[in-house]
Structure 1
Amino acid sequence: MRIPPYYRLPSWQRFLAGMAIGGIISWFIFLFVFGQWQERYSKEIKLQKDAIFELEKDKEIWQEEFKKLNKENQKKLTVQDISIKIVNSEKYKLDSFSVFQLEDEIKEDISMMVAKDIDTVYKSSELIKKIIENKTHRVNEKRYRVEVKELVIYTTVSIELNIMLD
């Protein structure tokens, strides 16, 4: 098998030399363009890393301040209001005014809890229950005792009560 004698024809020699030179020139152009892109993207990535680092630092500072403020606010939380609801007033056929009077009496009994911090009120929740349950109330010439059904302590102390005849 023999190689065709194209090396003797000048047109083929120019074509092959042009392909080789064109390949080398296009390779250098590719390397230049690729290098420029790489350099630009490297700068962009470095800037983004710096921005991310700064933002993470800022975020940590804000989180620390937020935690400090939360701790201070938790210390400052106090009871603002007392809400009392009698659940089973229909069982004894009490009118709404009688229920209101009974709720108001109970609210006056535990009114010393207003403006106290929530932690103190929570620690004295058993005392609150005993204050409410150990007292008998007169409504419409009948004596009633109350039983604490539910006690929720937050800025508003919510108490649900059951009443029963004494």
Structure 2
Amino acid sequence: MSQSTPSTAYSRDLGDELRRLRETCTDLKGAQVAAQLGWDPSKVSTIEHGKARPSEIDLVQFLTMCGKDIDFFEDFKRRYRNAFDEYIVQLPGNLRTVAMAESTATKIFSYNTLTVPGLLQTARYAECLCRAAGMTVEEQIPALVQARMDRQAILRRHDRPDCVFYIH
């Protein structure tokens, strides 16, 4: 989920670049991208105007929609590194890779023996899981939970992947 913030010159540059990518790499309007990503219709507009703080998952999903790969994402992140410090929740590389794979998947099969799969977790469950695992500092838990919730947008897309989840 993105968070509303006053726009700055740098956040507007970031938004302009995302809008240009959408316009040159797709034939979609902002509302169509939002629908395909399972986002609220205003989310694309606020991100493209530099008025929202996109999560790293949001950017992975957006850039994937524009046909970009993980290498492009990494380059994009480097070019906007200062904007990312202020506007982007930093995630471990493996979670970024998972989000990229989920964004392009047509089918997802998951087998979990101990926990509910991340794509099915509620915010409260994910929060408790982070605390129980004890592998992150308390201040990072809200951002990690939000990243998990952002990943679930693929389940709201009109062309969402076929999913099968097994929980033992």
Please, what TM-score do these two structures have when normalized by structure 1?
0.21
Computing the radius of gyration over CA atoms, which structure comes out larger, 1 or 2? 1
Larger relative CO (CA 8 A, sep 6+): 1 or 2?
2
